[in-house]
Structure 1
């Protein structure tokens, strides 16, 4: 069992006995790695290039349909986002909205520019039928769990994010499968606790979750140092008109079909409940399944009820295990409500 000196630590926060078995805190509290800087430079340059390529600004009409009111907004095609529309309608709507619904049938990321005139609704966590919003929340949790896992380990431990299965709230946990060069790592409760704290702190920074469609070549360049994602990209693009959809929160960039929630501050209570070594045929080192449970910040649950969720989240998530039959989210950006 390997539990010694796995993570970086902030010594002032830990007792001497605690430091003997855990040492978390890597790039989340220190300088960014060269690779993270390289990826973000590529993302920033492409974002600027796409903005500059828009050319003449065209106007579109957005028909907002709220629970008790309606409004027509004149916005900018391929520039204005649902979040921009929400800000025009009031701070409360902008703050609580998790995802947009276009024309009653298409879920749309709040920070994704609108391509044409449409009917627009905003979905939040307290709607009568929240199943779709819950699924998007779960997907976002997996994405953010990947951000924490990618930044937690010391430099002598090689970490490569592999993928996360499609969100399934009924499974009891959100998941990210990560390759870690530790042969038999079984995290202690203290290690899991500190991972949970780091995820909470990252989310409390209030990062807007950006997204952008890019070419296959750009995505391959972005993930050239991640063998798993590099291998996945051509197949993802083949099912999405040659495009790859990227999401970014803070400095963390990943691939997902989306959509996701608007901001990391939508997450409230968070627990990284378990990390389990998987039996896979993937070369390069063991694959560990990071599992967690979380609640939106405006959902309150008593300690006993939440502890039951934590207990269930410790059990191995039944999502497909990556291997010869790959297990990654497809990259189609638009998610139909019926899916």
Structure 2
């Protein structure tokens, strides 16, 4: 059974058809979610009031600097702009006061020490996790629009990033029984993910109340079930990320722009043995490289082979609430 709306033999024609259908259906829900997100973003910005200055002690190349920035307005990305184009383009994630990972587009709340981490640092473990998490987030965006209208689809969750597992993951509920993707279907998914990243979309970040989060995800029973547990571990706030029209829940941080993701392969989709009602859960798995890192075809092929194996992350089930681990900052070195 061919479940995808895009079939490799008729790729160009099917992509156009898919785009028209997508604009009529899924985009209606995304439009609603985006309107809520943008309104809340505007409300938070306007509630700041009088602008206060903070000192950000930047440590790194090309030189250490003390930057005078705006409290709850200026972001690490704004700081990177002051340090030159090279620093701005290569920065992946910020490290505040030597202990807290911070999304590049998230406003800084107070004076602090700031480091900007990138892919070439001597110990890139934290950067790699940020990259892996971002790939899962974008995989969810692509899968959301990949199937026919007749296929029920509901994003469930993606596990905390584990680079050693060999693949980034998104678990999705589908109204299919025993679907196994063909090589052509996996290739199309990979192409769609590449196209998404090539739009060079900034990945935005916003902390919202549980009420806002419930409203945004009211049509996704899995997300709404996860929200209370997430809020309990995040000061009653839900952290949302947005790229283009896609919005999802994650503690973050993410990479600042989709253009940092280069070579991509959606390597496998595996039906999981889960007891969640409503349809089977399928684990979408992929592998990718940052756009700044090159690898020969043979070596990348080995990564693809490994990414086809079932990722050992916990299988979603009715026993316990599945969402991305919210203790990442406390376990940064893990």
Same topology, TM > 0.5: yes
Shift of 1:167: 0.4
Paired residue secondary structure (1:245): strand
> Structure 1 residues 53 and 28 mapped into 2: Cα distance closer, same or farther (>3 Å)?
farther
Distance 2:20 2:314 in 1: 30
Could you say which residue in structure 2 is the equivalent of 1:6?
4
1:191 is aligned to 2:185: yes
Q: Within the alignment, does 1:105 sit opposite 2:103 as a pair?
A: no
Q: In the alignment, does 2:220 pair up with 1:226?
A: yes
Alignment partner, residue 137 of structure 2 = 143
Aligned residues of 2:71 and 2:107 also touching (Cα < 8 A):
yes
Q: 1:188 to 1:156 in 2, by over 3 A?
A: same
Matching residue within 274, 280, 295 for 1:286: 280
Task: Determine whether 1:263 maps to 2:220.
Answer: no
Moved more, 238-247 or 287-296: 238-247
How big is the shift at 1:14?
6.0
Alpha-carbon displacement from aligned partner over 1:10-69 (angstroms, at most 9, x marks no partner): 975369xxx8xxx89745995262101000000000000000000000000011111451
Q: Look up the SS of the partner of 2:126 in the other structure.
A: helix
What is the correspondence of 1:198-237 to structure 2 with a 5 Å cutoff?
198-237=192-231
State the distance in 1 between where 2:120 and 2:16 align: 36
Corresponding position: 1:329 with 2:327? no
What SS class does the counterpart of residue 152 from structure 1 fall into? coil
Aligned residues: 331
Shift, 1:335, TM fit: 6.3
Residues 248-303 of structure 1: per-residue CA shift (max 9 Å, x gap): 01110000011111110000000000000000000000100000000000111000
User: Could you tell me how far apart the structure 2 residues matched to 1:246 and 1:29 are?
Assistant: 26
Q: 1:123 aligns with which of 114, 117, 121?
A: 117
Partner of 2:297: 303
Is the 1:177–1:287 Cα contact (8 Å) retained in structure 2? Answer: yes
Secondary structure of the 1:60 match is: strand
For the residue of structure 2 that corresponds to 1:294, the secondary structure is strand
- Which consecutive unaligned segments of at least 5 residues does structure 1 have? none
Structure 2 unaligned runs (5+)? none
Secondary structure in 2 matching 1:262 = coil
CA distance in 1, matches of 2:328, 2:302: 34
Shift of 1:158: 1.1
Say if 1:203 and 1:265, in contact at 8 Å, map to a contact too.
yes
Aligned partner of 1:239 in structure 2 is 233
Change (3 A) 1:14 1:214: closer
Question: 1:24, 1:157 → 2: CA distance?
Answer: 19
